[in-house]
Amino acid sequence: MTSGAPIPSPAMRQALEAAGVPTLRLPFLTSLVDGKAVTGETEFEVLEKFTRAPVARLSEASRAQVADAVRVAQRAFETGAPPPHERAKILRRVGALLDRDRARFAALIVAETGFTQADAAMEIDRSIVTLQLSAEEATRIAGEMVPFGASPGQQDRIGFTLRVPVGVVCAITPFNSPLNTVLHKITPALAAGNAVLLKPSNLTPLTPALLCELFLEAGLPPALLGLLQGAGDTVGRYLLEEPAIAFYAFTGSTRVGRIVQQAAGLRRTQLELGSIASTIVCADADLDRAAAKIANAAFRKAGQVCTSVQRLYAERGVAEDVAARVVAEARRMPAGNPWKSETRIGPMITEAAAERTVAWVAEATGSQARLLTGGNRAGAVMEPTLLGGLRSGMRVLDQEIFAPVLSILPFDELSEAVAGANATPYGLSAGIFTRDINAAMRAAKALRFGAVHINEASSARGDAMPFGGVKESGFGREGPQYAIREVTEERLVTINP
C-alpha cells in the first residue's frame, strides 16, 4: 500500500456507508515543507471515530525532515514576510476559501473528531471569524510612546517602541479543535510576520492538512508555513530539540506542557493546559437559562473541551431543582452517530477514553456518589452523565475527566463555592449565574481563573477575547489581538536630539 493512501477495506467501507459517512475527499496525506509534500519512513492510521474504521494512512515526518523544515522556515523569516496589508489580504482569502469549502471541512471534522454536524459547523463559523480578526490585527500592530519627561535632564529625548516578529513559531495543537485552535495558533503568528511550523494531533491530522492547502491557494509564500505530521513522542520531540525555533505555542495536557516549557528554556512559550472548570449557580439565578447553558457547556463535543463544566456548584436551596433541570436537558441531548443530524453528542476521541470515563464513574458510584442520569457507553460513545453525592478524593471530581460527565455540589455560602472552585491545581475558566451584581463582582475578583463569566457557563468563549489560564492551566493568551503580543518582541527606539 502506498504512503498516504486511503485504506478502508471493503468491510470497513460497508461499515462507513451504513453509518452514513460520505465519501471523503482527503487532502494531501504527508508533511509539507516549502510547499512540497515530503514522505517519511513510518506511517500511522487515521480512524473515523464512530465506526473506528481507518480512513487514511499518513506519513510521519522523519528527524531529518523536521530539521529541514526548521531551516526552510528560518530562511523564510530572514528573507521577510509579505508586508502587513498583503498578509491581511491572504488571511481574508483563506477565510473566503474556507467558506467555499465548508462542506468538505465539515465532513473531515466529523470523521476524524467525532464531532456532531452542528459542532463541526460551529467550528467552521468560528474559524472564519478568527481569520477575519487576525487579518484586521495584521495591519495595526503598533508600539507606544515613552514619556522621557519623567526623568530630569531627559525631557528632550524621544522614545517609542516597535513590535517585531520573533522568528520561527512552532504550533503544537490538540485533537479537540483541529481547525479553530490551529488558526488561533498560526494566524496571529503569520499576521505578525513570523514563519510557522504546525504539528497537529496525529489523531486529527486531516483537517489541518486541508487548511494548509487553503493557505497555499490563498497566496501565502510556501516557506512561511510548514506542516509536520506525526506523534508528539516523535515529531513533537524533534521540534523541541530545534534551537532555531523562537516560540512554542502549545495546547494540551499539563504533563506535556511541562516538557515543552523545560525544552524551551529561555525561549518564549504560550501554554494552554489542563483544567477542571467550575460553574456556580446562586439561588437567585434564572435556573432555566443556567441549566441549558451548563448542559451544553458540559456535554458538547463529548465533554472534550478544556473549559467544559466539570464541577457544578449549586446553592443548596435550589440544588435539587438545578439538578433536575440539567438532567432534563441532558436527556434531550441524544448521544450516538455524529453523521445523524439529530445527534447532539458524538463519540469520544478513542474507545479507551470512553472506557476510562466509565471506570471513573463506576468508582464514584461505588463510593457514595449517586448517578442522576447517564453513566453508560456504547463503543466510544458516552452518555451525558450527571453525578451527585460526591466527596473529595474521587477522580471524577479531582482530576480532569475530559468527558461528558458533570458533578453537582451543593453550597450554603458563595464563599464556599468560590473556595471549592479555587481548590484545584488549575485555573482556566469559571462561570457564575446570579442576578446580584455585587455578588458576581466579588466572585469575579476571588475566583483565580484566567476568565470568569457572569451569567454564562465556564466554556463561554468569543474568538476576539483574551483566552488563557493561570496556575497549572498555563500562561499566555490566545485571541488574535492578544496572541500577536505573544509572538512579537517589544523593541525600544530612542532619539536624543
48, 123, 242, 272: the catalytic one is 272
The rounded distance, in Å, linking the Cα atoms of 198 and 169 is 8
190, 209, 212 from 96: Cα distances, Å:
17, 17, 14
pLDDT in tens, 458-474: 999 999 999 999 999 99
The rounded distance, in Å, linking the Cα atoms of 382 and 354 is 6
Q: Is 88 helix (H, G, I), strand (E, B) or coil?
A: helix
* pLDDT value of position 236: 98
The rounded distance, in Å, linking the Cα atoms of 457 and 50 is 28
Beta carbons within 8 Å of 9's beta carbon, 6+ residues apart: none
Report whether pLDDT(332) > 50.
yes
pLDDT in tens, 38-66: 999 899 999 999 999 999 999 999 999 99
Instruction: Calculate the dihedral angle through the C-alpha atoms of 188, 194, 200, 206, rounding to the nearest 10 degrees.
Output: 80
DSSP 310: E
Return phi, psi of residue 39, to 5°.
-110, 125
The H or E element containing residue 248 is strand 245-251
112, 306, 400, 456: the catalytic one is 306
Query: Is 282 in the active site?
Result: no
Average pLDDT over residues 153-168: 96
pLDDT in tens, 248-304: 999 999 999 999 999 999 999 999 999 999 999 999 999 999 999 999 999 999 999
* pLDDT value of position 14: 86
Report whether pLDDT(4) > 60.
no
Give the class (CATH, top level) of 12-273+476-491.
alpha beta
The rounded distance, in Å, linking the Cα atoms of 104 and 101 is 5
Average pLDDT over residues 395-420: 98
Neighbour count for residue 385 (Cβ, 10 Å): 27
The rounded distance, in Å, linking the Cα atoms of 110 and 340 is 11
pLDDT in tens, 89-117: 999 999 999 999 999 999 999 999 999 99
Average pLDDT over residues 418-422: 98
Q: Is residue 143 exposed (0-12), middle (13-18) or buried (19+ Cβ within 10 Å)?
A: middle
DSSP 477: -
The rounded distance, in Å, linking the Cα atoms of 72 and 66 is 10
Report whether pLDDT(2) > 70.
no
| Angle, vertex CA 121, rays to CA 21 and CA 451, nearest 5 | 130
Which string of b and e fits 111-133 if b means at least 16 CB within 10 Å?
bbbbbbbebbbebbebbbbbbbb
Average pLDDT over residues 318-341: 98
34, 131, 285, 349, 470 from 229: Cα distances, Å:
14, 23, 47, 18, 30
The rounded distance, in Å, linking the Cα atoms of 90 and 173 is 22
Complete DSSP assignment for 331-385: HTS-BS-TTSTT-SB---S-HHHHHHHHHHHHHHHTTT-EEEE---EETTEE--E
The CATH code of domain 277-464 reads 3.40.309.10
- pLDDT-derived band at 1 (thresholds 50, 70, 90) equals very low
- pLDDT-derived band at 488 (thresholds 50, 70, 90) equals very high
Q: Which of 163, 243, 247, 234 is nearest to 197 (CA)?
A: 247
Query: Is 306 in the active site?
Result: yes
8 A C-beta contact, residue 349 and residue 342: no
Report whether pLDDT(3) > 70.
no
The H or E element containing residue 106 is helix 102-113
Residue with cell 477542571: 276
* pLDDT value of position 417: 98
Length, in residues, of the chain: 497
55, 178, 290, 335 from 21: Cα distances, Å:
11, 19, 35, 17
Delimit the domains of the chain by residue range. 12-273+476-491, 277-464
Report whether pLDDT(231) > 80.
yes
For residue 328, give the C-alpha cell.
Answer: 432534563
pTM of this prediction? 0.96
Report whether pLDDT(8) > 80.
no
Q: Is 462 helix (H, G, I), strand (E, B) or coil?
A: coil
Distance of CA 323 to the CA centre of its chain: 28
The rounded distance, in Å, linking the Cα atoms of 450 and 477 is 9
